[in-house]
Amino acid sequence: MPPRIDVDAAPVASFVLTDRLAAGTDSGWHVHARHQLLFAGSGLMHLETADAQWLLPPQQAAWISAGARHRVRVRAAAALCTAYLGPPTPDLAEGARVFAVPPVVAAMLEHAAGWDMRRCHGDPAARFFAVLVDLCREAVTRGRPWFLPTARTPELARAMAHVLARPGAPHTIAAAARVAAVSPRTLARRFAAEARMSFEAFVRAARLLRAMSRLLEPGAQVTEVGLEVGFTSPAAFSRAFAAFVGEPPSAWRRRHASDAG
């Protein structure tokens, strides 16, 4: 999904581009010299960096700092609005963060998307983008915990891939350790040191992220999705989903499914 222009060669410090991306689009791994504020007006995207991977559902944004190597894959056709922010724009966070977009930020992005490059010159434009970043500052600090860490060693990578291939299976650390060719104790230490979470927390996050994605598919039913990702009852699924996402799965589906489609 390359931008329509070479964003790193643009003649202005900051500007906004929009695009519509088909399901299956893959940006490939790349970096930009500018910070990015990537807003998903609709659709469903998957953001990866060297350290983590996030689900980017509708009406959420991602902050990607300048120089951060990243990749975006589109799971459901997306309407994308991206601000490319050059110096002296401050860095809100190192790497990437996903957060809920304040309505005023969405409105500002949509407004600036209609500008041509000439309007992006000068002090008024610089002040506009400085205000945009400032409005995101608090929201970024409350970034969504909808991410999975990535592995630095092949053993942990094998264990994570084993879980992600079938998140709804009855996973145990002993079984994952056999796949990784290490002892359960060693694998537990790898999760603590590299992923900064326990094996059990990784399995739960993998299940809930898969559930978030599945609930946005046409015709998906909450009870069926909960069972599919490994929860033994609708009540257990609803409690876990609400603790992770901030609202019950039925409310999540009602609020986001039409935008994802």
> What sign has the CA pseudo-torsion 153, 155, 156, 160?
positive
Read off the pLDDT of residues 214-258 as tens digits, 9 standing for 90 and up: 888 888 899 999 999 999 999 999 999 999 988 899 998 887 766
User: At 103, is the pLDDT very low, low, confident or very high (cuts 50, 70, 90)?
Assistant: confident
In this structure, of 54-58, 66-70, 110-114, the range with the lowest mean pLDDT score is: 54-58
The conformational region for residue 159 under phi > 0 = left, psi -120 to 50 = alpha, else beta, is alpha
